[in-house]
Structure 1
Amino acid sequence: MVFLNDDGLTEAVQEAGAVELLLVRHGESEGNVAATEARLARAEVIDVPARDPDVNLSDTGQDQARALGTALSRIAEEFCPDTVVSSPYARALQTAEIAVQTAGWSLKVHTDERLRDRELGILDRLTRLGVETRYPDEAERRLWLGKLYYRPPGGESWADVALRLRSVLDELNNLGRGHRVMLVCHDAVILLVRYVLEGMSEREILDLAAGTTVLNASITRYVRPSGAGPWTLESFNVADHLTEQGVTVTEHAGDASVHPQ
């Protein structure tokens, strides 16, 4: 908002917004399991049971979502999220709904397609070996450009995903001070939220991606007590709540070859 002060000078005032942001990766999905099995078998195609938006949680993923909900139930009422927004993809929405129900929160889970996973276009369902075998020119182009800027035909680059996330994050500035928000989404989305909120360079986000797997049902937390200005990363990729409850912690990483070569 812009206004004139007593001296007639123009000043910009930022409206207060959300004070806390929780980012949750969905629990283990049937697609995660199928992708890992395909890589280990050196298969070219991942035998997923449905199109990407419709892939459900695995049994382990459902256990992880319940354990997440139990952990969330321990948050003091005054610090609980007042808004929960999920990717519309089944694995994320199921995680959100199970967690909210287990936590005992009387909140409706909203969905926002801007939180969906990255779209892979013609490379969908292919392992790295499958891409190299069936689309060698694309494999070479992906290596040349690196993960931030490579866009597969019919799909998205990480930069494309970051663009849609910027509008989501900007809306957090217009909620009114005091709001606490939980977003349930995907590993690439969580990494790219960090890229946007922390003003990372290409090198920094790719270094992070190369060395970090965002764990299923993990929690990442940002705070800004004033409700305005930059966010502070309080914790990243925490899955202690799974271990404490005897639930399996799962790592399902994407292609670790992310830097331009």
Structure 2
Amino acid sequence: MGPVRIVAVRHGESEANLAYRQAGTDPLVYERGDDEVTLTELGREQAAAFGGLLAALPADEAPELVWCSPYLRALDTWAIAQRSWGADPLPVTVDERLRDRGWGLLSAYNEAAIAQRFPHELERWRAEGEYRYRPPRGESFGDVAVRLRDLLTDLRERADGRRVLIVAHDAVVLVLRHVIADTPDADLAALEEFAPILNASVSTWHTVAGRLRLLHFNAIHHL
């Protein structure tokens, strides 16, 4: 059957989130590796608030297992949330399939910097659309969907009958909605309606009649 409940949280505000927001429409080259970026002070506060939400859950809704992205900002979010929650440590699986969408050769650049340095890629991005575009050596949203389907197949066996917390990234949470709903990848662009996924937002699915049903998505009432 698989998990009876899945809670997916995006990491708290990261240093890169802040740098990109401060750059606005100015070109930005952000040199730190995507897996090395950690949380801002606000991000740490958001992670602690998420831990408070977990502490307030009824026992039959609280996570029993954790699956986490290997990226530092996700690992830090869970570590802070765990301390804030105050419960006994849960089993944690760090899974590469929960990493953020890969931007390959463009990973250091915001859109304005891409326009300056790689104008042909910006043209291709705009022509193909956000959800079809695959940066050089990077991933499309369809590529993210492939790895998340593989993850869910594993969860059906390894988390059967359990409540699972997923700590990951905006692209992962967004595409998880698509994959759990079993929507064809031709419809990926429809996800734009549900973006952006906010920092430390919570999305929850619960099993009804053997199928995961969405209870709420991108919720931030705890922040």
Q: TM-score range by the shorter chain?
A: over 0.9
- The share of aligned pairs that are identical, in percent, is 39
Select the residue among 38, 43, 57 that pairs with 1:75.
Answer: 57
Structure 2 counterpart of 1:96: 78
Over 6 Å off, 4+ runs: none
TM-score by length of 2: 0.92
* In the alignment, structure 1 residue 56 sits paired with structure 2 residue 38: yes
Letter aligned with residue 187 of structure 1: D
Structure 1 counterpart of 2:102: 119
- Would the aligned equivalents of 1:69 and 1:99 in 2 still touch at CA under 8 Å? yes
> How far does the alpha carbon of each residue in 1:40-84 deviate from its partner, in whole angstroms, 9 at most, with x for none?
2x3222445x21101010000000000110110111223221101
Structure-2 change in CA distance of 1:176 and 1:240 (3 Å) = closer
CA distance in 1, matches of 2:193, 2:104: 22
Structure 2 counterpart of 1:29: 14
Deviation at 1:204, TM superposition (A): 4.9
Deviation at 1:110, TM superposition (A): 2.5
TM-score by length of 1: 0.80
Superposition RMSD in Å:
1.8
Letter aligned with residue 238 of structure 1: A
1:172-251 map, 5 Å = 172-175=155-158, 177-201=160-184, 204-209=187-192, 212-226=195-209, 228=210, 230-242=211-223
Letter aligned with residue 4 of structure 2: V
Aligned pairs, how many? 222
CA distance in 2, matches of 1:147, 1:169: 24
Letter aligned with residue 93 of structure 1: L
CA distance in 2, matches of 1:27, 1:148: 24
- Would the aligned equivalents of 2:8 and 2:165 in 1 still touch at CA under 8 Å? yes
- Would the aligned equivalents of 2:124 and 2:133 in 1 still touch at CA under 8 Å? yes
Task: Indicate the structure (1 or 2) with the bigger Cα radius of gyration.
Answer: 1
Structure 2 portions without partners, runs of 5+: none
CA distance in 2, matches of 1:31, 1:105: 30
CA distance in 1, matches of 2:120, 2:85: 48
Which structure's relative contact order is higher, taking Cα pairs within 8 Å and 6+ residues apart?
2
Structure-2 change in CA distance of 1:168 and 1:220 (3 Å) = same
- Would the aligned equivalents of 1:222 and 1:231 in 2 still touch at CA under 8 Å? yes
- Would the aligned equivalents of 2:114 and 2:121 in 1 still touch at CA under 8 Å? yes
Deviation at 1:213, TM superposition (A): 1.6
Structure 1 portions without partners, runs of 5+: 1-15, 243-261
